Amino acid sequence: MSIAWYLAVSAIVFALGAVGVMVRRNPLVVLLCLELMLNGANLALVAFSRMWGNGDGQILALIVMTVAACEVCIGLGMIVAIYRRHLPIDVDELRELQG
C-alpha cells in the first residue's frame, strides 16, 4: 500500500483536530481535539518509520505520547480547577489574560 494513504489519513485526522480546537468552546473538547492533532502527527511518524524501515520514527511517536499524557494531565487538572471554582466551562468566557 502506498505511503500516500497513510499520510492522507494522518492529514485528515490532524485537520479535524485543528478545526475542533478553533471552533469548539468546551475546554474538554478542545483538549480532545488537541489529542487528535497529536495522534495525526503520530500516524505520519509511524508511517514514515515503516517506509524507511528503521525505528526512529516510532521512538519519536512514543515521546509524543508521553508529552500528550503530560499535557492531558495539566489540561484536565485545569478543567477540574475551573469546575471547582464554579467558573464557566467555556474558553471564550475565560479571557482574564487579555491585554
Q: Is 99 in the site for another protein (CB under 8 A)?
A: yes
- Please tell me whether residue 8 binds another protein under the rule CB under 8 A: no
Nearer to another protein, 30 or 43 (CB): 30
Establish how many alpha carbons lie within 13 A of residue 36's alpha carbon, considering only the half-sphere containing its beta carbon: 18
C-alpha cell recorded at residue 70: 503530560
Among 30, 41, 45, 47, binds another protein (CB under 8 A): 30
Q: Which stretch binds another protein (CB under 8 A): 18-26, 44-52, 53-61, 69-77?
A: 18-26
**Which of 49, 53, 59, 54 shows the shortest CA–CA distance to 10?**
49
57 within 8 A of 45, measured Cβ to Cβ: yes
Assigned C-alpha cell, 68: 500528550
Single out the segment in contact with another protein by CB under 8 A; choices: 20-28, 41-49, 66-74, 76-84: 20-28
